[in-house]
Amino acid sequence: MKYAGMPFGMWTLFAPSFRNQLTAVFGYGTNTAKAITKKAKPKYREIISELPEFEKGDRFKMNLVNCAMIGAFILSMPERPDVERLTEYYAKSMMTKPLKWFCRKSGKNKFTPKDISGMKATATLKAADRNPYSWNMEFYEYPDGSGYEGRFTKCGICVLMKKLGLYDLTPALCRLDYTMSEAGGVTDFVRQYTLASGGPYCDCGYKKKGFVKAGTEAGR
């Protein structure tokens, strides 16, 4: 994968936040946080350079680029973080004002015909059959009309985290799904399994906030 383009843009957008949260979450001094960030940048570029290009229509390239960035920062820290603190660090680093705006904008389009069509196209693509760093997903609409679920049987983040020797920390990245759903403001995120925790698949369920099934009454 080429560094120019999305990877460069993502570093420019998020690296300051990743640096600042090194102090806020882990308590590193300002100079140490700067040193970690300086070390992480070439590591990030190295990780990106070893990844294949994503095919047109694959919506998950950004997910893997984000994984490369957090991986580079972890590998540049003086001490390996635990999952709990890394979960907090990753969420706070990612949830910048631009990403919160993106989540709200995406929330407005959730469950529209265009959104449903995009999910179905992703399920049909099965990009991980050709690129191990992408995802394979099955799409299920809830029969009661309350939303839908993407069920992932292959996960590029799991593959990359294994390659980086960080697989045990993967659940910290999975938790961001809840945070982004909450920021969107229109869905309740539900999940039973993740591949990273030994489940048969990763289920990403999005239920409409305040959904009441047609023909029912509150309190019935």
**Residue range 61-76, pLDDT digits in tens:** 999 999 999 999 999 9
Which of 117, 10, 27 is closest to 65 using CA atoms?
10
pLDDT number for residue 220 = 38
Residue 52 lies in a domain: yes
Residue 216 lies in a domain: no
pLDDT number for residue 22 = 98
Q: Terminus-to-terminus CA distance in the chain, angstroms?
A: 55
Is 219's pLDDT higher than 50? no
- pLDDT range class, residue 215, cuts 50, 70, 90: low
CA contacts within 13 A on the Cβ side of 1: 24
Note down the domain range covering 15. Answer: 6-208
Is 17's pLDDT higher than 50? yes
Residue 74 lies in a domain: yes
Mean pLDDT value of segment 166-187: 95
Residue 85 near residue 25 (C-beta atoms within 8 A): yes
Mean pLDDT score across all residues of the chain: 94
- How do 136-141 and 147-154 pair as beta strands? antiparallel
Global confidence as pTM = 0.92
Residue 199 lies in a domain: yes
pLDDT number for residue 210 = 87
Tens of pLDDT, residue by residue over 181-203, are 999 999 999 999 999 999 999 99
Q: Out of 24-33, 134-143, 211-220, which region has the weakest mean confidence (pLDDT)?
A: 211-220
Higher pLDDT, residue 217 or 188: 188
Distance between CA atoms of 9 and 152, rounded to whole angstroms? 27
Residue 30 lies in a domain: yes
The letter for the amino acid at 65 is: V
Is 214's pLDDT higher than 90? no
- How do 202-208 and 147-154 pair as beta strands? antiparallel
Note the residue count of the chain.
220
CA contacts within 13 A on the Cβ side of 85: 12
Is 46's pLDDT higher than 50? yes
Q: What are phi and psi of 81, to 5 degrees?
A: -75, 160
pLDDT number for residue 212 = 80
Higher pLDDT, residue 212 or 78: 78
Residue 66 lies in a domain: yes
Residue 60 near residue 126 (C-beta atoms within 8 A): no
pLDDT number for residue 218 = 45
Is 216's pLDDT higher than 60? no
Is 213's pLDDT higher than 90? no
Domain count, the chain: 1
Residues 6 or more apart whose Cβ sits within 8 Å of residue 103: 180, 183, 184, 185
The proportion of the chain whose per-residue pLDDT surpasses 90, expressed as a percent, equals 94
Residue 58 lies in a domain: yes
At what angle are helices 61-76 and 30-49 packed, to 10 degrees? 130
Residue 213 lies in a domain: no
